[in-house]
Structure 1
Amino acid sequence: MASVELMSGAPRFSLRQLAYFVAIAEAGTISEAAQRLHISQPAVSLALNDLERALKVQLCVRRKAHGVTLTPTGTQVLHRARRLLRQAEDLEGEAGAGEGALAGVLSLGCYVTLAPTVLPPLLQGFSALHPGLTVDFAEDTQDVLQRRLLSGELDLAVIYDMDVLPEMERAELFTMRPHILLPADHPLAERESVSLHELAEEPMVLLDAAPSSHHALGLCHSFGLVPRVRYRPTSYEVARALVGRGMGFSILVQRPSNDRTYEGFRVAIKEIAEPVRTEAVLLAWPRAVALNRRAEEFLRYCRRAALPAGARPEPFESRESEA
């Protein structure tokens, strides 16, 4: 793979050229990037040419009617460019905001099922403390969030301690115990706890959003069960709606805020009778990247923030690289 030439003194490229290159990579075409940047297409194309000339590498392959494809070196430069632009934004924001004030943008990711209960209180509380700061957030599956962290698109992400990549640093926020979700009129709904073995022959609604599906299936297999999966919704609320209509049971970690679905059907939240471990919710970031000041302040705030309903407080613990 070609490497980017190290240059002494002032670089031969500009932050504007890097920003245009990032826009091209994210848009997939030069014309779409120009529209997003609200500038002319020739100006974007010229900036890309100048950047490639300054770095002495080919960043992308341009194919008529097929957009642009990053070269291996282009992918490497894209990650570096995003970080450089973030650092430049940090410098500008801190210089303009005054001592002690936060400004700029914090890019936060959150696993889809955690977002409804975890994000709102964190966003509201943190924004109240730092009104000059903007928090952009993205909800997605855990595999996608980790890829976006490594590519430099996100500063931090709230995820489960499941299938976490070794490249990730993490800090534990709180833990939650998995539970069974049943229709309210299920014969076992009046029980305080339900054994997974009692549901072995019943249809299962499997939340198919990584890593939830792996976790639920692994839990069943650990007790010698092979569940009869009938439905695989990718949405937490669709899973609850199917259970509410009596179309199966589900195993979830995130607890719903109430026992009614959007359609008004009731569900019953039951403890699992078998000994199951609690699952940790983490704040994660790339191990190789130093947190900027905005991310550090958000991490501090999360240590003091109130936990969502259903979470069990645990001592806050940062899992350092040497651990």
Structure 2
Amino acid sequence: MEKLSNLPGFSLRQLWYFVAAAEEGTISAAASRLHVSQSAVSLALGELERALKVQLCVRRKAHGITLTPSGTQVLQQARALLRQAEELAETNAGDSADLAGRLALGCYLTLAPTVLPRLLHGFGGRHPRVTIDFTEGTQDALQRLLLAGELDLAVLYDMEVLPEIAQVELYHRRPHVLLPADHRLAGQPEVALHDLADEPMVLLDAPPSSHHTLRLCTDAGVKPVVRHRTSSFETARALVGRGLGYAMLIQRPANDRTYEGLPVVYKSISELSGYAVSVLLAWPRHTRLTRRSAEFVAYCQDVFAGEDS
């Protein structure tokens, strides 16, 4: 085994204070979060910079702190070290210790309304000392946050997933067409994209959903007439309810009415019979899951077992 030649000149507490300051953006906000004085945070940052022999941030009284390029790199490494230290503490605490602490969870925009409430409520009831902070975003943004160490886990679609991302499959969803209830095809058991080719489309423009939708149309030999674009799942439903076009979606809420109370109908797509998209729980491939994250992965697999549609 390789022997340590010397101890590092910095402490985990200094790294902890640095991460808090970087995430909060100001010394005062970091101090408030850590329940320490501003001078304690400022002192820790100065000591850490001297130990590493590099400037980590630029401090401006009226504008908080801005990370230097070196500071950005150290931030990612500091998060990894703090997670490893936490994992060491959890491992030696044994299985009898209650899970506690913070779990940073990301969720793709359109999945969030139907996935997050159930997971937060169920896992929170099982492990009340774990605080789940969640972030909603597009697939590319969430993957960047995972790789930067700002998220522990993220719920994503199996679309354009980076090779640096590890994953487990939770369930499948089939794409469908959303129509206003009075549409000429509303009474059909399923519809063909070719039958909608000349009608306006409302495109859910939240990557990678938009890329995926347009690719499916191309594969079916249809060039859609995109009339409206929106990054909001509910806005897309509202526009369809008003008869302003049809939409292709994957996620389906239980309520078949828009906020205005206008009815909409969901129809399977004849050209896509048998096709489905996987919903994943993902994390950085280079990161070993903490006990808290591993428990959350197992919980999600249990919750969504057999829930394909």
Q: TM-score, normalised by structure 2?
A: 0.89
Distance, in Å, in 2 between the alignment partners of 1:144 and 1:230 is: 26
Q: What code does the residue aligned with 2:48 have?
A: L
1:29-79 per-position Cα deviation (integer Å, ceiling 9, x unaligned): 445544554555444333211111011122223456554432332222101
Identity of aligned pairs, percent?
63
Structure-2 residue corresponding to 1:210? 207
Q: Give yes or no for contact 2:204–2:236 (8 Å, CA) kept in 1.
A: yes
Q: Deviations over 1:202-234 (max 9, x none)?
A: 111111111111111111122232222122111
Change (3 A) 1:297 1:38: closer
Structure 2, unpaired ranges of 5+: none
| 1:26 shift after superposition | 2.1
- Counterpart position of 1:117: 114
Aligned partner (choices 12, 17, 26) of residue 15 of structure 1: 12
Matched, 1:241 2:238: yes
Q: Given the alignment, which residue of 167, 170, 174 partners 2:167? A: 170
The structure-2 alpha-carbon separation of the partners of 1:303 and 1:182, relative to structure 1 and needing over 3 Å to count, comes to same
What SS does structure 1 have at the residue aligned with 2:134? strand
Q: SS of the residue aligned with 1:232? A: strand
Distance 2:125 2:262 in 1: 36
Partner of 1:305: 303
Q: 1:295 aligns with which of 288, 293, 296?
A: 293
The one-letter amino acid paired with 2:253 is P
Q: Give the distance between the partners of 1:144 and 1:303, measured in 2 at CA.
A: 24
Q: Is the contact made by 1:173 and 1:280 (CA closer than 8 Å) also made in structure 2?
A: yes
How big is the alpha-carbon RMSD for the aligned residues of Structure 1 and Structure 2?
A: 2.4
Out of 218, 222, 247, the residue aligned to residue 221 of structure 1 is 218
Hey, what's the Cα distance between the residues in 2 that align with 1:199 and 1:179? 13
Query: What's the secondary structure of 1:154's corresponding residue?
Result: coil
Q: Distance in 1 between matches of 2:143 and 2:190?
A: 34
Whole-Å separation in 2 of the counterparts to 1:179 and 1:227: 15
CA distance in 2, matches of 1:92, 1:304: 26
Conserved 8 A contact 1:59-1:74: yes
CA distance in 2, matches of 1:298, 1:98: 15
Contact 2:204 2:229 in 1 (8 A): yes
Q: What is the one-letter code of the residue matched to 1:301?
A: Y
Tell me how far apart the structure 2 counterparts of residues 288 and 211 of structure 1 sit (CA, whole Å). 24
Instruction: Choose 270-279 or 118-127, whichever is displaced more.
Output: 118-127
Moved more, 281-290 or 294-303: 294-303
Distance of 1:186 and 1:47 partners within structure 2? 64
How many Å apart are 1:256 and its aligned residue? 1.9
- Report how many aligned residue pairs link the two structures: 305
Residue of structure 2 equivalent to 1:281: 279
Of the three residues 137, 146, 150, the one matched with 2:147 is 150
Mapped to 1, the partners of 2:98 and 2:61 lie a distance apart of 47
List alignment gaps of at least 5 residues for structure 1.
1-6, 313-323
User: Counterparts of 2:298 and 2:95 in 1: how far apart (Å)?
Assistant: 20
Letter in 1 for 2:105: L
Compute the displacement of 1:237 (Å): 0.9
Describe how 1:246-261 pairs up with structure 2 within 5 A: 246-261=243-258
Counterpart for residue 57 of structure 1: 54
Output the CA distance in 2 between the equivalents of 1:64 and 1:305.
48
CA distance in 2: counterparts of 1:63 and 1:127, whole angstroms: 39
When the two structures are superposed, what TM-score results if normalisation uses the length of structure 1?
Answer: 0.86
For residues 91-117 of structure 1, give each alpha carbon's deviation from its aligned partner in whole angstroms, at most 9, with x where no partner exists. Answer: 556667872532222222111111122
Q: Counterpart in 1 of 2:182?
A: 185
